[in-house]
């Protein structure tokens, strides 16, 4: 089967997952949230009391982890860690920095690479992350680099956490977003950067509908969908 792939990269809180999930539904594509895969490894390090910045200690965990990505009856992506569904746990706010730290180790990235590519070989996918257009799917049919100001992303994250019942103060979220931006774009292994052939979309002043329309226009232009 000739599979189409759409890569959406960008910093945390730019709206990648909400937009990608909605677009996948509209287009009948499989949505793959690759951040959830790194979060699963970050969660395991956290659970084992391992410092996520300690490369050797994190790599020593890998032979003990089996990471699986499945789709529930709800159609949503679920993450299994050694057979246990950790979909909710990986969203705990403290796991974000763990995920960012473990994702900087090249051994972690190569451990997870094939699983991501395999999904794109067997399905039409919309995959979001940090290095999808640059490393995971360099031949993706559509590449989008989605961004927004750190302040706009902080406000969105604040709202999301409030709705989830785990509110956090603005300053704390902003600091964490800036720290993750720095980590994710300054690591040596597959840093966050815009692929040369990616289309830049800045959603700072766009609401959800406007952002979705902007992405649909780009996708239609590239695929004729």
The whole-angstrom separation of Cα 7 and Cα 147 is: 14
Structure tokens at 8: 């959406």
The answer to whether the CB of 194 falls within 8 A of the CB of 7 is no
Shortest Cβ 14–ligand DC spacing (Å): 9
Q: Check binding of 105 to ligand DC (CB under 6 A).
A: no
Q: Which is nearer to ligand DC, 9 or 212 (CB)?
A: 9
Using CB under 6 A, pick the residue from 180, 195, 212, 219 that binds ligand DC.
Answer: 180
Shortest Cβ 34–ligand DC spacing (Å): 4
The answer to whether the CB of 108 falls within 8 A of the CB of 190 is no
Q: Which is nearer to ligand DC, 88 or 220 (CB)?
A: 88
Alpha carbon dihedral 193, 195, 201, 204, in 10-degree steps, equals 0
The answer to whether the CB of 162 falls within 8 A of the CB of 154 is no
Using CB under 6 A, pick the residue from 19, 23, 79, 99 that binds ligand DC.
Answer: 99
Q: Which is nearer to ligand DC, 77 or 103 (CB)?
A: 103
Q: How many CA atoms lie within 13 A of 173 on its CB side?
A: 21
Shortest Cβ 36–ligand DC spacing (Å): 6
- Give the distance, in angstroms, between the CA of residue 213 and the centroid of all CA atoms in the same chain: 21
Using CB under 6 A, pick the residue from 4, 5, 8, 12 that binds ligand DC.
Answer: 12
Q: Is 70 helix (H, G, I), strand (E, B) or coil?
A: strand
How many residues make contact with ligand DC (CB under 6 A)?
14
Residues contacting 191, CB < 8 A, separation 6+: 130, 131, 184, 185
Shortest Cβ 224–ligand DC spacing (Å): 27
Q: Check binding of 184 to ligand DC (CB under 6 A).
A: yes
Shortest Cβ 106–ligand DC spacing (Å): 11
- Measuring CA to CA, how many Å separate 64 from each of 5, 36, 97? 31, 18, 21
- Give the distance, in angstroms, between the CA of residue 131 and the centroid of all CA atoms in the same chain: 9
Name residues contacting ligand DC, limited to 112-141 (CB under 6 A).
129-132
Instruction: List the x/- string, 21-50, binding to ligand DC by CB under 6 A.
Output: -------------xx--xx-----------
* Interface contacts to ligand DC, rule CB under 6 A: 12, 34-35, 38-39, 99-100, 103, 129-132, 180, 184
């Amino acid at each position: 089967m000739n599979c189409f792939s759409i890569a959406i990269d960008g910093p945390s809180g730019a709206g990648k997952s909400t937009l990608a999930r909605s677009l996948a539904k509209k287009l009948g594509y499989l949505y793959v949230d690759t951040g959830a895969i790194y979060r699963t490894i970050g969660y395991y390090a956290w659970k084992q009391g391992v410092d996520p910045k300690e490369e050797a200690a994190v790599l020593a965990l890998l032979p003990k982890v089996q990471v699986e990505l499945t789709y529930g009856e709800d159609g949503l992506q679920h993450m299994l860690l050694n057979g246990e569904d950790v979909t909710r746990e990986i969203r705990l706010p403290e796991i974000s920095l763990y995920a960012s730290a473990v994702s900087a180790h090249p051994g972690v990235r190569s451990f997870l690479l094939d699983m991501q590519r395999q999904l794109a070989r067997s399905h039409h996918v919309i995959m979001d992350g940090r290095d999808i257009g640059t490393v995971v799917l360099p031949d993706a049919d559509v590449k989008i680099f989605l961004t927004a100001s750190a302040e706009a992303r902080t406000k969105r994250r604040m709202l999301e956490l409030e709705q989830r019942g785990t509110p956090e103060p603005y300053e704390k979220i902003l600091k964490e977003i800036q720290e993750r931006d720095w980590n994710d774009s300054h690591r040596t292994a597959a840093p966050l950067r815009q692929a040369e052939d990616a289309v830049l979309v800045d959603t700072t002043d766009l609401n959800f509908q406007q952002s979705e329309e902007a992405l649909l226009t780009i996708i239609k232009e590239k695929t004729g969908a």
